[in-house]
């Protein structure tokens, strides 16, 4: 695969949340290293899946890319524009190109606003069209996400989780963005609704040429929708590859462990499936292990793993991994 | 994308209502709250139009009828009252020791109590909400400093300061022939029947509690995803505060403020009772009680009438506050 048409490039992106102590005179006593020197890119029109256990920094990565959190260090290039350098009006203007869909369909809609006002907010903020044109556009958007435009005056509490998620999608689409961070958009939904929402996202992607960063906490959820998949562990992206390549040829021990937990539909293969059970718990991101962050739990860990941080390398075309043994 | 792919029948038949409308419906279904609300409305109406409603002026004296009592009231007076009391039906609730109509004074007194409650609650609601919202929203060091100031003020004995100030202005101020700003304040205070300092004092004391509630509410909402969504589309901070935070946090603040009103009314009554509230002859329930206490044994009705109004008003605001709380947030019930 070529490296052209790169829409978004993340370079050594780092987000540490400071932990402070003291009342008036504050001292920083540590930091939650939620995301640490993460690098990857997203091609135009593709879906990059981002997978990892809860708390490994996926949401922080998504929000830092969108500059909802300002990064501690590192760069985020959208086309050739460095988002981390943008401030004020420039950043506000840039936000039209990138949006986010949230995990919790209940927390992501203001309960005091009607559906019409929620979906129209991006248009109002960017002063697009008259009040009447905005309402027309909202109806069009509701239609687009499979909701009856007749619902425009309703309030979020009158909708089911899946319907609310559609409202959130309509809001994200209002400004015609090119790039959308989907932060576990289906994790909180009933299994029966999940497929519908994924299908909707795929249809919209096709229709508008959208680019997604699709976050999920297990591999089975992203397999269907992603072109490429990045695996995250404790603030680091440890492996990134084209979807089929990742499933067929996982190189990082953590990816292998994750994959071993995914049930296989084929009963013969399923019976032979050997689960790799990882020892211990995920360490705290406040004091992550030195060297390879995975080394205390890695079944293959060597001496060097606790001393040196493995390099993030492209081991084969479009297959990236950070492990000393690969 | 077929519209029918989701089970939508449920939402199709239901009427569209905002959370405010649903809260309002819950409130008017609560009989105690409705009765309390009516009571407060009637009292407010009567207080506002006291000039028309009250049968007499609050300062009008009829010395021939001092300490008089209408016939029906004898039942609440001591058994031997008939030996010493003047009986006349001219004054529906009797007259006080200066021959002033008690009913009229209670009505004018409602004006003092309610305007005090309204001003004090508005002052503390506005200052507290602004302060708490900004502190919580800005966060970080500014929040720490602002909350430390609040902690300090909380420990400060404002009521004592108010009592000292009132004493000073009421006694020394006049005697020493004060000039300049102090005299001006005194003038304004006098023209308000002595309530200016009370307003300021109560506002100053109570915004602190409101600020804490507002800050707590803002903290619990500002990380909500709908607020992040607003940031993500580029909404300004003021828009986020006005459109997203305030509508969500105002309910608990209004409830807390309603429940604080009895406290304001009592504070006014208390200060007036000890002679540091409104200036006579302006009637307030506290002053009426205080003036009637010396003759409590002979004329308990003169204490009882303002006391009953005070209690009923207090109860009404308490019930109303409870009703509002249940209506605004059904989850908080039990
Ligand atoms: N605003 C924040 N302040 C401090 N710590 C945070 C904040 N947001 C997230 N974290 C911490 O960063 C880590 C990564 O969180 P998150 O990105 O939400 O993980 P994920 O989305 O993968 O579940 C967690 O340890 C979390 O506690
Ligand atoms: S670098 Fe070492 S510890 Fe880390 S994944 Fe590779 S083998 Fe395991
Ligand atoms: Mg998350």
Q: Worst-scoring range by mean pLDDT, B32-46, B173-187, B318-332?
A: B173-187
Tell me what the pLDDT averaged over chain B comes to.
82
The residues that bridge with A180 in the sheet, in sequence order, are A99, A212
pLDDT for position B168? 73
Does position B2 have pLDDT exceeding 50, yes or no? no
CB atoms A24 and B148 under 8 Å: yes
Those residues whose C-beta lies under 8 Å from the C-beta of residue A290, and which sit 6 or more positions away, are A306, A307
CB atoms B232 and A99 under 8 Å: yes
pLDDT for position A304? 93
Q: Higher-confidence residue: B16 or A220?
A: A220
Q: In this structure, what DSSP letter does residue A311 have?
A: P
pLDDT in tens, B77-110: 777 767 777 777 777 788 887 878 888 899 988 8
Cβ neighbours around A216 below 10 Å, total: 24
pLDDT for position A73? 96
How many Å apart are CA A141 and CA A132, to the nearest integer? 14
Whether the CB of B151 is below 8 Å from some CB of chain A: the reply is no
How many Å apart are CA A49 and CA A215, to the nearest integer? 6
Say if residues B113 and B277 touch (Cβ distance below 8 Å). Answer: no
CB atoms A112 and B234 under 8 Å: no
- Both tokens of A255, joined, read 């990816």
Ligand nearest to the CA of A323: 2
pLDDT for position B15? 59
pLDDT for position B291? 85
pLDDT in tens, A134-164: 999 999 999 999 999 999 999 998 899 999 9
Helix B196-222, helix B180-191: angle, nearest 10? 90
- Both tokens of B283, joined, read 């009637």
Does position B60 have pLDDT exceeding 70, yes or no? yes
Q: Worst-scoring range by mean pLDDT, A169-178, B119-128, B323-332?
A: B323-332
Those residues whose C-beta lies under 8 Å from the C-beta of residue B250, and which sit 6 or more positions away, are B129
pLDDT for position A270? 74
How many Å apart are CA B164 and CA A51, to the nearest integer? 66
pLDDT for position A2? 46
N residues, chain B: 334
Q: Worst-scoring range by mean pLDDT, A172-181, B48-57, B177-186, B242-251?
A: B177-186
Whether the CB of A203 is below 8 Å from some CB of chain B: the reply is yes
Does position B179 have pLDDT exceeding 70, yes or no? no
Confidence bin at B330 (pLDDT 50/70/90)? low
State in Å: Cα A193 to ligand 1 middle.
Answer: 27
pLDDT for position B169? 67
CB of A56 within 6 A of ligand 1: the answer is yes
Residues of A in contact with B23 (CB under 8 A): none
Annotated domain spans of chain B: 109-332
Q: Higher-confidence residue: B117 or B314?
A: B314
User: Phi and psi at residue A77, in whole multiples of 5°?
Assistant: -100, 125
CATH architecture of the domain with residue range B109-332: Orthogonal Bundle (1.10)
Q: Higher-confidence residue: B64 or B310?
A: B310
- Both tokens of A56, joined, read 């490994």
CA angle B258-B261-B267, nearest 5°?
165
pLDDT for position B332? 47
A236-242 and A319-321 beta bridge pairing: antiparallel
Q: Choose the residue to mutate in A15, A17, A58 for probing ligand 1, maximizing ligand atoms within 8 Å of C-beta.
A: A17
CB of A323 within 6 A of ligand 2: the answer is yes
- Both tokens of B170, joined, read 């009421």
Complete DSSP assignment for A86-143:
--HHHHHHHGGGEEEE-S-TTTTS-TTS-HHHHHHHHHHHTT-S-HHHHHHHHHHHHH
Confidence bin at B54 (pLDDT 50/70/90)? confident
pLDDT for position B1? 42
pLDDT for position B193? 63
Query: Distance (Å) from the C-alpha of residue B3 to the closest C-alpha of chain A?
Result: 5
Whether the CB of A26 is below 8 Å from some CB of chain B: the reply is yes
Highest mean pLDDT among B13-27, B59-73, B166-180, B247-261: B247-261
The residues that bridge with A21 in the sheet, in sequence order, are A27
Cβ neighbours around A148 below 10 Å, total: 17
pLDDT for position B190? 67
Q: Higher-confidence residue: B8 or A300?
A: A300
Does position A43 have pLDDT exceeding 80, yes or no? yes
Complete DSSP assignment for A216-232:
ESSHHHHHTT-SEEEEE
Confidence bin at B189 (pLDDT 50/70/90)? low
Q: 3-state class of A300 per DSSP? A: coil
CB of A54 within 6 A of ligand 1: the answer is yes
Does position B3 have pLDDT exceeding 50, yes or no? no
Tell me what the pLDDT averaged over chain A comes to.
92
Q: What ipTM, to 2 d.p.?
A: 0.91
pLDDT for position B170? 67
C-alpha to C-alpha distances, B237 to B56, B240, B241, nearest whole angstrom: 54, 5, 6
State in Å: Cα A18 to ligand 2 middle.
Answer: 28
- The whole-number average pLDDT for the span A202-226 is 92
A6-21 and A73-78 beta bridge pairing: antiparallel
Does position A262 have pLDDT exceeding 80, yes or no? no
pLDDT for position A7? 95
- Which among A58, A80, A44 has a CA at the least distance from the CA of A13? A58
CB atoms A95 and B232 under 8 Å: yes
How many Å apart are CA A228 and CA A244, to the nearest integer? 8
Does position A85 have pLDDT exceeding 90, yes or no? yes
Q: Higher-confidence residue: B4 or B184?
A: B184
- The whole-number average pLDDT for the span B273-298 is 82
How many Å apart are CA B246 and CA A113, to the nearest integer? 12
pLDDT in tens, B192-221: 666 666 776 777 778 899 999 999 999 999
pLDDT for position B316? 93
- Both tokens of B65, joined, read 């009828």
């Amino acid at each position: 695969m070529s490296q052209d048409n790169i829409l978004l490039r993340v370079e050594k992106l780092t987000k540490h949340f400071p932990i402070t102590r003291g009342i008036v005179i504050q001292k920083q006593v540590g930091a939650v290293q939620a995301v640490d020197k993460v690098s990857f890119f997203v091609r135009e029109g593709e879906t990059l899946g981002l997978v990892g256990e809860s708390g490994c920094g996926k949401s922080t990565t998504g929000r830092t890319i969108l500059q909802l959190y300002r990064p501690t260090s590192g760069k985020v290039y959208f086309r050739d524009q460095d988002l981390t350098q943008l401030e004020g009006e420039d950043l506000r203007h840039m936000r039209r190109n990138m949006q986010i869909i949230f995990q919790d369909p209940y927390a992501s809609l203001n309960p005091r606003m009607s559906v019409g006002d929620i979906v129209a907010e991006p248009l109002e903020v960017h002063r697009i069209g008259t009040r009447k044109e905005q309402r027309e556009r909202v109806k069009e958007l509701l239609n687009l996400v499979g909701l009856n435009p007749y619902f425009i005056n309703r309030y979020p509490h009158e909708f089911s989780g899946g319907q609310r998620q559609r409202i959130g999608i309509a809001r994200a689409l209002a400004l015609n963005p090119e790039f959308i961070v989907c932060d576990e958009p289906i994790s909180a939904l009933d299994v029966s609704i999940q497929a519908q929402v994924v299908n909707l996202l795929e249809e919209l992607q096709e229709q508008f040429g959208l680019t997604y960063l699709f976050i999920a906490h297990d591999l089975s959820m992203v397999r269907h929708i992603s072109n490429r998949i990045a695996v995250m562990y404790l603030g680091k992206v440890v492996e990134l590859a084209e979807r089929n390549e990742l499933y067929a040829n996982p190189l990082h021990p953590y990816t292998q462990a994750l994959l071993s937990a995914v049930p296989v539909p084929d009963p013969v293969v399923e019976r032979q499936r050997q689960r790799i059970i990882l020892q211990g718990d995920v360490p705290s991101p406040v004091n992550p292990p030195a060297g390879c962050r995975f080394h205390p739990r890695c079944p293959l860990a060597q001496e060097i793993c606790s001393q040196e941080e493995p390099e993030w390398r492209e081991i084969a075309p479009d297959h990236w991994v950070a492990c000393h043994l690969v | 994308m077929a519209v029918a792919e989701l089970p939508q029948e449920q939402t199709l038949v239901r009427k569209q209502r905002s959370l405010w409308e649903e809260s309002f419906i819950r409130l008017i279904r609560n009989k105690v709250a409705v009765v309390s609300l009516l009571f407060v409305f009637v009292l407010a109406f009567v207080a506002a139009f006291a000039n028309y409603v009250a049968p007499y002026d609050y300062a009008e004296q009829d010395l021939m009828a001092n300490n008089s009592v209408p016939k029906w009231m004898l039942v609440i007076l001591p058994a031997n009252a008939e030996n010493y009391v003047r009986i006349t039906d001219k004054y529906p609730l009797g007259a006080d020791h200066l021959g002033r109509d008690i009913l009229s004074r209670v009505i004018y007194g409602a004006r003092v109590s309610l305007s005090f409650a309204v001003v004090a609650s508005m002052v503390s609601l506005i200052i507290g909400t602004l302060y708490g919202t900004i502190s919580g929203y800005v966060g970080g060091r500014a929040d720490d400093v602002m909350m430390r100031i609040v902690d300090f003020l909380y420990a400060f004995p404002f009521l004592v300061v108010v009592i000292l100030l009132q004493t000073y202005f009421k006694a020394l101020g006049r005697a020493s022939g004060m000039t300049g700003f102090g005299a001006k304040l005194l003038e304004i205070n006098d023209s308000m029947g002595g309530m200016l300092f009370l307003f300021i004092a109560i506002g100053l004391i109570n915004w602190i509690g409101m600020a804490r509630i507002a800050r707590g509410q803002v903290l619990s909402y500002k990380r909500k995803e709908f607020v992040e969504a607003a940031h993500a589309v580029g909404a300004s901070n003021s828009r986020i505060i006005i459109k997203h935070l305030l509508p969500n946090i105002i309910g608990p603040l209004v409830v807390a403020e309603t429940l604080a009103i009895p406290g304001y009314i009592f504070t006014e009554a208390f200060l007036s009772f000890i002679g540091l509230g409104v200036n006579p002859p302006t009637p307030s329930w506290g002053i009426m009680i205080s003036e009637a206490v010396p003759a409590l044994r002979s004329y308990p009705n003169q204490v009882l009438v303002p006391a009953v109004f005070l209690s009923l008003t207090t109860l009404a605001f308490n019930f109303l506050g409870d009703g509002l709380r249940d209506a605004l947030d059904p989850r908080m019930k039990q």
